[in-house]
């Protein structure tokens, strides 16, 4: 498994602003993933972030709205840009260590946009 | 189109009895299945998984059963304990390029009554 931390744990932001969420892992991993869980909904994959290459976005998510950085094998950031109340969600990062078929999740960032 | 479905949003059982959580899927490309447990204000925690080449996997009080012909899996918890009260997510995995992506169900809130 892996120990994953996220910052911030929660934030309240005004519409039109941007928030950058950090994800730190205690070991080197190739694959990192960013998910969103809207209120009362399941987890939806936003993008897959490989170190050294551009993130791959899922249908319905675009780089201009959710830019991702992956500068090394233990760290990634997700920015939620030009926020609206519809972006109010829990944002989670996850990793798949080594050849593991399981993903391990961080504690999440609870974002409220007013 | 929901590829992974958990049709029961909630389930209540008495402490000591068996909890059975169900999950159905539609995509034949899924070849690995996982269950996660999520407490409020925490990220999902990996619980147990099963490969499509098996029909049963057991880990302590938790057993997952897979019926490929019915595209159905279930999680059995026995005996159930109050600490098991959480939201349980079923997830399915298929290879997509170089990555393995998870598709989540909508979750089942399990309440174990003392």
Give tens-digit pLDDT for B23-50: 999 999 999 999 999 998 899 999 999 9
- Through-space distance between the first and last CA atoms of chain A, rounded to whole angstroms: 36
For A78, residues 6+ apart whose C-beta sits below 8 A from its C-beta are: A20, A21, A23, A34, A46, A47, A66, A67, A68, A91, A93
User: Residue A73 carries which DSSP code?
Assistant: T
Q: Is B45 exposed, middle or buried (0-12, 13-18, 19+ CB in 10 A)?
A: middle
The reported pLDDT for the residue numbered B96 is: 66
B47 touches chain A (CB under 8 A): no
Asked whether residue B98 carries a pLDDT value surpassing 70, the answer given is no
Helix (H) or strand (E) holding B56: strand B56-59
Predicted confidence band of residue A70 (pLDDT cuts 50, 70, 90) = very high
Q: Is the peptide bond before B79 cis (omega within 30 degrees of 0)?
A: yes
Strand B86-96 and strand B32-38: the pairing is antiparallel
Mean pLDDT of B9-22: 97
The answer for A107, left when phi > 0, alpha when psi is -120 to 50, beta otherwise, is: alpha
- Closest partner residue to B46 (CB to CB) among A41, A43, A102 is A102
Tokens linked to B26 = 């539609």
Q: From start to end of B4-107, where are the E strands? A: 4-5, 10-14, 19-25, 32-38, 45-51, 56-59, 62-67, 72-77, 86-96, 99-104
The reported pLDDT for the residue numbered A54 is: 86
- Closest partner residue to A101 (CB to CB) among B36, B100, B106 is B100
- Give the residue on A whose Cα is nearest the Cα of B6: A42
* Spatial distance between the Cα atoms of B34 and A101, rounded to a whole number of angstroms: 9
The per-residue pLDDT for range A25-52, each reduced to its tens digit, is 999 998 899 999 998 889 999 999 988 7
């Amino acid at each position: 498994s892996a120990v994953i931390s996220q910052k911030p744990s929660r934030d309240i932001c005004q519409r039109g602003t941007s928030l950058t969420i950090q994800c730190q892992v205690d070991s080197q991993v190739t694959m990192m993933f960013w998910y969103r869980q809207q209120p009362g909904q399941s987890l939806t994959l936003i993008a897959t972030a490989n170190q050294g290459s551009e993130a791959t976005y899922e249908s319905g998510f675009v780089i201009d709205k959710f830019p991702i950085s992956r500068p090394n094998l233990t760290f990634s950031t997700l920015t939620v840009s030009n926020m609206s109340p519809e972006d109010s969600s829990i944002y989670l990062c996850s990793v798949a260590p080594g050849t593991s078929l399981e993903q391990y999740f961080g504690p999440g960032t609870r974002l409220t946009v007013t | 189109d929901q590829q992974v479905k958990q049709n029961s949003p909630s389930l209540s059982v008495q402490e000591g009895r068996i909890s059975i959580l169900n999950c159905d899927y539609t995509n034949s490309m899924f070849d690995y299945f996982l269950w996660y447990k999520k407490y409020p204000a925490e990220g999902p925690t990996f619980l147990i998984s099963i490969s499509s080449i098996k029909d049963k996997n057991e880990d302590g009080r938790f057993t997952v059963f897979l019926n490929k012909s019915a595209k159905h899996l279930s999680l059995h918890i026995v005996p159930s304990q109050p600490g098991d009260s959480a939201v349980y997510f079923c997830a399915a995995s298929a290879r997509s390029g170089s990555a393995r992506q998870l598709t989540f169900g909508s979750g089942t809130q399990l309440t174990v009554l003392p």
